[in-house]
Amino acid sequence: MLSLDDYKQMMRGFTEAGFTCVQEPSAVSNPLRLDWQFEGNARRYRLWTFDITHGGGGATVRPADEFRIQITNGPPDLADVDTGGVTDLLVGYSRDRDAIVAYDRRWLTAWTKKKQNKGSGGSPSVQVKEADIKAGHDEGIHHLTKNASFGQADIVTLSPLMLPAYLANHDSILGGTMSASSAQAAMPQPPGSTVVDYCRDQGFPFGPDLLARYIAAMLTKPLVILAGISGTGKSKLAELVAEFYSRAAGPNHAPAAPSTGDSFVFVSSYGEPDPTRFALVAVRPDWIDNQSILGFVNPITNQYESTQALDLILRAHAALEGSSDKAAAPRYFMLLDEMNLARVEHYFSDWLACTESRRYRPDHTVKQQPVPLHRVSETLVTVVHQPDGSAETMNVPSSLPLPTNLVVTGTVNVDETTYGFSPKVLDRAMVLEFDEVDLERLRNQGSDISVEG
């Protein structure tokens, strides 16, 4: 008899494909119920699942390499098959060979029909050779046919890692019209499972090489400058990468333990982007000091007047302080749009000086000079505004270490309306140039992009 652990082993192909289990049964039941959020739709299955065992009786009764399932349960009525948006399928599982065997569904409906007519469906068995079971485990998917009372029947043996592909294409795979390699290529992926896919899904087919260089720059320097001609996607690149890495169940968030229910429920591993972790700060030509970034003390109210940039810095600092593993703290992203419309040294000098002071210690901590915010003896408060319109009160210390989980990107257009960069700025930044536009890639929506490329 199959156990709950056997069921979990059968289901592991979903997590391998990038889907998260948010609910799982607490006890064995047949059928095994499965709900799957895939391609924007909820797919529901009843898997009538049986243990694959040797028939018994010794070698004189049954060949040693012959294994079988015995169908002892099924839909109560033929009218119940595939009703309510649920697909009924017949499968077996061999724990010793770690392989699933998927059977022609007519064996299942034949059992139901017999039960309707005679009051009992009995326990008919369906035999499969051990070599075929092993081939499914080794090859991913292995197809065979077998004569049955209702005619020629199809069987496929498969690795548990291929179960999502089988469920998504069960008619083609079971009928033998989809090969193992085609099924592998058709393995379902959650939407935007890589940053390349996510950008392409949003209509911006940036190349993997460009995205790799940008992400490497973010991890290397505290400031990344994207320079180039207008309209090449500099701002959108930074925005989409920030969205991808701020999704609710993204790389910096471990999924919660599944809740208990009567079925396995799988959803995309990635939720919606967290808008509180990104700020697009439009630089103005009249910025002449750091108050445009770091705010100032209001002498009338004796409160600190925050800015969009400081709001993000405070949220990033709070997230970093609340993380036991600083390296795994969620990242926050600031985009300084058209950052050279004003002189960078005028409004960003405190940031540049403090990030330059960072020293990485042998114990993997970071020592740095904090940014001075005010000289009032007591701690001031400010109102931090959230993207959804809500607000919260936060303390503003007299000085603040710049959070290391904050990524700052600036976009630059070079023309007669902008200022150049001093060596002080360029020394503290990584510069990526956007000086070419791939029109052919835009025409085909990046369909020729390969992540491996």
**Encoded tokens for 318:** 């709070």
Give the pLDDT score at 18: 78
* Average pLDDT over every residue of 192-209: 85
Asked if the model's pLDDT at residue 284 lies above 60, the reply is yes
Which DSSP helix (H) or strand (E) runs through 312?
A: helix 308-321
Residue 413: CB atoms within 10 Å: 18
* pLDDT band (50, 70, 90) for residue 442: low
Asked if the model's pLDDT at residue 356 lies above 60, the reply is yes
The ranges assigned to domains in the chain are 4-185, 195-252+272-443
Asked if the model's pLDDT at residue 22 lies above 80, the reply is yes
* pLDDT band (50, 70, 90) for residue 377: confident
Distance CA 316, CA 318 (A): 5
Distance CA 334, CA 311 (A): 11
* Average pLDDT over every residue of 104-129: 93
* pLDDT band (50, 70, 90) for residue 453: very low
Asked if the model's pLDDT at residue 1 lies above 90, the reply is no
Bridge pairing between strands 429-434 and 359-360: unpaired
Give the pLDDT score at 181: 78
Contact 396, 374 (CB under 8 A): yes
Give the pLDDT score at 252: 39
* Average pLDDT over every residue of 114-120: 91
Q: How high is the mean pLDDT of the chain?
A: 87
Give the pLDDT score at 314: 94
Distance CA 39, CA 188 (A): 9
Q: Which of 250-254, 290-294, 389-393 has the lowest mean pLDDT?
A: 250-254
Contact 430, 224 (CB under 8 A): yes
* Average pLDDT over every residue of 153-161: 94
Distance CA 444, CA 439 (A): 9
141 Cβ partners below 8 Å, 6+ apart?
A: 156, 157, 158, 159, 162, 165, 166, 173, 179, 180, 183, 184
Identify the residue whose tokens are 């499972």: 193
User: What pLDDT digit, counting tens, does each position of 237-283 carry?
Assistant: 999 999 998 886 543 344 567 889 999 999 877 777 889 999 999 99
Greatest CA separation for the chain? 98
Give the pLDDT score at 183: 79
CATH superfamily ID and name for 195-252+272-443: P-loop containing nucleotide triphosphate hydrolases (3.40.50.300)
Question: What pTM was computed for the model?
Answer: 0.63
